[in-house]
Homo-oligomer: A and B are copies of this chain.
């Protein structure tokens, strides 16, 4: 999997998620180390668990300082962004722009990591198709889950709009192409990444939601 394609998707996803993690950390008033940790957890946390699930130790993220560099650059970008917002008068307009910047970065990270995880799953254990899909989804959403657990919140992927579903669609497309040989891997990767990003952005734009099981608040007394 040491192809140039894999690395492009990996770097793209790392940068996008590091930026989104740093934005959350800055908004939570963490110190510089906290911002770095949350940013790193979002960007490489999913990949570290992915490598532990694959038995591929030490995790790729620890083998080179490339990821550290990407994360520090993304942190700097996020700080500049937040400082700019605070300096500007037209707050609501800036916030709308920032919202879309954040959402697009996040969707790009989701698509790119769905592809890298699925490719690794297919490469290491081609006999388990389900594993490739699950690994792709975990790589894409795991970083965000770890970030939210560290921020002591319910992981938003469990309650928000079509997020993991977009990743599942991309992973299924890529795994399907791998097993049926319908497309070779580079175009299939681009296709899967595009599907995930498109579904995710459309879901935000059009307010798609998965059905809740029930809407009214109703908490049986035996769960505290």
Interface residues of A in 191-224 (CB under 8 A from B): 209-215, 217-224
- The residue of chain B having its C-beta at the shortest distance from the C-beta of A155 within the complex is B150
Which residue of A26, A210, A214, A222 has the most chain B CB atoms within 10 A of its CB atom?
A: A222
Complex formed: what's the CA distance from A29 to B218 in Å? 8
Asked whether, in the complex, the Cβ of B26 is within 8 Å of the Cβ of A213, the reply is yes
Asked whether, in the complex, the Cβ of B218 is within 8 Å of the Cβ of A95, the reply is no
- Mark interface residues in A136-164 (1 if CB within 8 Å of B CB, else 0): 00000000010001111111111110001
The interface stretch among A1-9, A31-39, A109-117, A179-187 is A31-39
Point out the residues of chain B lying under 8 angstroms from A221, CB to CB. Answer: 95
Number of interface residues of A (CB under 8 A): 74
Asked whether, in the complex, the Cβ of A86 is within 8 Å of the Cβ of B128, the reply is no
Complex formed: what's the CA distance from A152 to B158 in Å? 12
Interfacial residues, chain A to chain B (CB-CB below 8 A): 23-35, 37-38, 48, 52-55, 57-59, 62-65, 68, 79, 82-83, 85-86, 95, 98-99, 102, 124-125, 128, 130-131, 134-135, 145, 149-160, 164-165, 209-215, 217-224
Q: What are 24 contact pairs spanning A and B, CB under 8 A?
A: A23-B220, A25-B158, A26-B213, A27-B219, A27-B220, A27-B223, A28-B154, A30-B158, A30-B159, A32-B210, A32-B211, A34-B158, A52-B57, A53-B58, A55-B58, A63-B130, A82-B214, A95-B220, A98-B220, A102-B222, A145-B150, A150-B154, A153-B224, A156-B224
